[in-house]
Chains A and B, each alone.
Chain A
Amino acid sequence: MLSSFLRRLATAIPSLIGVIIVTFLLTRVLPGDTAAYFAGPAATPEAIEEIRVKLGLDKSIPEQFVDYVGALVQGDLGSSLTTGQPVIQDIIDRLPASAELTLFGLFIAIAVAVPLGILAAVRQGSWIDHLCRIVATAGVSLPVFFTGLLLVYVFYYILGWAPAPLGRLDVFAFPPDPITGFLLIDCVLVGDWETLGSALAQLAVPSATLAIFALAPITRITRASMLSVLSSEFVRTARASGLSPFKVIVGYAFRNAMLPVITTLGMVFSFLLGANVLVEKVFAWPGIGSYAVEALIASDYAPVQGFVLAMAIMYVVLNLLIDLLYGVIDPRVRIEG
């Protein structure tokens, strides 16, 4: 188990090195003079030059790359020029907001999509199957920012159920001291139920937006995967042996249909990270996506590098977890691996 884990980890290293090189090159060709931006509009040319030397921007590109990798190894991602903080601190501050939103959205999507897909496969041709088909086709066509705006209009303006789409918490609520950074978990740990309610209310509409976006691929793959498993021999045998339909479908068929679903979840998670940027903009969510977009527009390259790197690491770790899950769900994969 451990050796296969390490072997799998080793295959991720080339991708990570590639990502480091690409982000470095990408951010070095950003337009705009970083030193001039950092010095401010009133700076003299000498002051700009001084800052350029201080930031190491006067060196050649290969030298800058060596510096960058050297700092990276020590966990130093540089400082953001816009917030004036170390990038690693900014990411630690903002990543939980994005992660909470994404994971909550993904959780809702799974809770709806998996049962829907299973029912659609079991009752093929019924109204549930048609509903599933509509969800799968319409879901991929919905622009996520449009869903967000529509939900804000319906739930905030017309119904008045949701709070104003302005960030993670009401202006009147006080967040608990960060323990994990996840507001929901922190509130539970501290026992602050009022803030928990407020945070949940703020979280509901944006995460529903993300969930609608994630619904389509999960439903589609669950249905397809269940259909192929349901027509296999062992399901027929289980049925013929007189097991209850519930046991056959959930205990036998679904367990075997899970592998493709898990694979798709990894892909969906990566989509969601992208969609996050749009949702964060609609809901003024103080997450890592909006941070990166602001930094990009200000040609502030350190946060962008840090952000892309953080995303890539998350993506690699996620794929690793998925591979490990394969082994847990399906022992046959473990033996072959």
Chain B
Amino acid sequence: MSTVSETTPAPPAPLLAFWRDFSRNRGALAGLLFILLVVFCAVFAPIVAPHAADTQYRDNFLTAPPWAGGDDWRFLLGTDDVGRDILSRIMWGSQLSLFIGAIVVTLSLGVGVLLGLVAGFSRGLLDQFIMRLMDVLMAIPSLLLAVAIVAVLGPSLTNAMIAIAIVVLPHYVRLTRATVIGELAKDYVTASRIAGAGILRMMMIVVLPNCLAPLIVQATLGFSSAILDAAALGFLGLGAQPPTPEWGTMLADAKKFVQSGHWWVVTFPGLAILLTVLAFNLLGDGLRDALDPKLKER
């Protein structure tokens, strides 16, 4: 992500100014730190995780965490119903969640920006067609549409990602189109048109860079909703399939143990989702305030 490059030494002045604005927001900074922690866990999971994701310790079914009545310090967050270490599964699962976020955002951002640019530039029948299609996509509640698409493609993690990318597409298309139309009315665009810039140059080099700020913000927030939706699909049994350590799938397995009081099986994967999503939301809010002061909430 773009935020990583800002931390490199001696950045140029605009980036420095951006960093100054951004780091003033403590929530956003905390979000960034937590995301770095998750990235660290994901990258170094083979080294950091105390156990493999699918090793079963058959003497330790549903062991409580040692600091909450359990007796085994090998399992810091307890074990699940088939004796797998929950902490390790959460760490391995962070790989999946970040992967899901990255793929979904790349797919939907890429296609969405392209469609938005085409719609914004053409402003004719094509525009009408694209936007009406997006209206139809938006008329169906997003999770249900994702469920329907997964049902067509078959339940798997890949298909869940495709489904979520399709579901969030309208946001990017609408945002791009609206910003493009706003930019097209400005003088610099007219100037480059008069100077003879071709349509591709107008789209990619003249207009698009000026639309980036809201798109970056939307992409960061899109990361969080992608992780949330993928977990929801996993929970419904339509996303990653067991024994994959995906956080939502872990919760679906653990559902029945809440009523028998094995709270740790449910709480920790849930907290992992909550904190990661919260971190991305805080980061997105911070980026919006720093990149796009006009949108700042009072």
Chains A and B form a bound pair: yes
Question: Residues on A close to B: CB < 8 A?
Answer: 14-15, 18-19, 22, 26, 29-31, 137-138, 140-146, 149-150, 152-153, 156-157, 164-165, 224, 227, 270-271, 273-275, 277-278, 281-282, 289, 292-293, 296-297, 299, 304, 308, 311-312, 315-316
Q: A30-B151, A150-B266 are in contact. Are A274 and B27 (CB under 8 A)?
A: no
CB contacts (< 8 Å) of A299 on chain B: these are: 151
CB contacts (< 8 Å) of A29 on chain B: these are: 152
Q: In chain B, residues 273-298, which have Cβ atoms closer than 8 Å to a Cβ of chain A?
A: 273-274, 277-278, 281-282, 285, 297-298
Q: Is the interface of A mostly helix, strand, loop or mixed?
A: helix
| Proximity bits, B129-142, A CB within 8 Å = 1, else 0 | 00011011001111
| Residues B263 and A277 in contact, CB atoms below 8 Å apart | no
Please, how many residues of chain B have a CB less than 8 angstroms from a CB on the other chain?
Answer: 46
Q: Does B7 contact A (CB under 8 A)?
A: no
Q: A14-B132, A153-B266, A164-B259 are in contact. Are A146 and B251 (CB under 8 A)?
A: yes
Partner of A296, one of B136, B139, B148: B148
Q: How far is the CA of A129 from the CA of B147 in the complex (A)?
A: 37
| Residues A277 and B152 in contact, CB atoms below 8 Å apart | no
CB contacts (< 8 Å) of B248 on chain A: these are: 143, 145
| Residues A282 and B139 in contact, CB atoms below 8 Å apart | no
| Residues A277 and B297 in contact, CB atoms below 8 Å apart | no
Q: How far is the CA of A316 from the CA of B139 in the complex (A)?
A: 8
Q: How far is the CA of A271 from the CA of B267 in the complex (A)?
A: 24
CB contacts (< 8 Å) of B152 on chain A: these are: 26, 29-31
Q: In chain B, residues 91-146, which have Cβ atoms closer than 8 Å to a Cβ of chain A?
A: 132-133, 135-136, 139-144
Q: How far is the CA of A299 from the CA of B154 in the complex (A)?
A: 10
Q: How far is the CA of A260 from the CA of B152 in the complex (A)?
A: 36
Q: How far is the CA of A141 from the CA of B135 in the complex (A)?
A: 25
Partner of B282, one of A137, A164, A311, A312: A137
Which of the listed residues B143, B144, B274, B298 has the most CB atoms from chain A within 10 Å of its own CB? B144
| Residues B259 and A312 in contact, CB atoms below 8 Å apart | no
Q: Does B16 contact A (CB under 8 A)?
A: no
Least CB distance from B158 to A in Å reads 15
A-B residue pairs in contact (CB < 8 Å), sample of 28: A15-B139, A19-B136, A22-B136, A26-B148, A26-B152, A30-B151, A137-B27, A137-B281, A140-B281, A141-B224, A141-B274, A143-B235, A146-B273, A150-B267, A150-B270, A153-B261, A270-B141, A275-B143, A278-B232, A281-B236, A292-B147, A293-B236, A296-B151, A308-B144, A311-B140, A311-B141, A311-B144, A315-B141
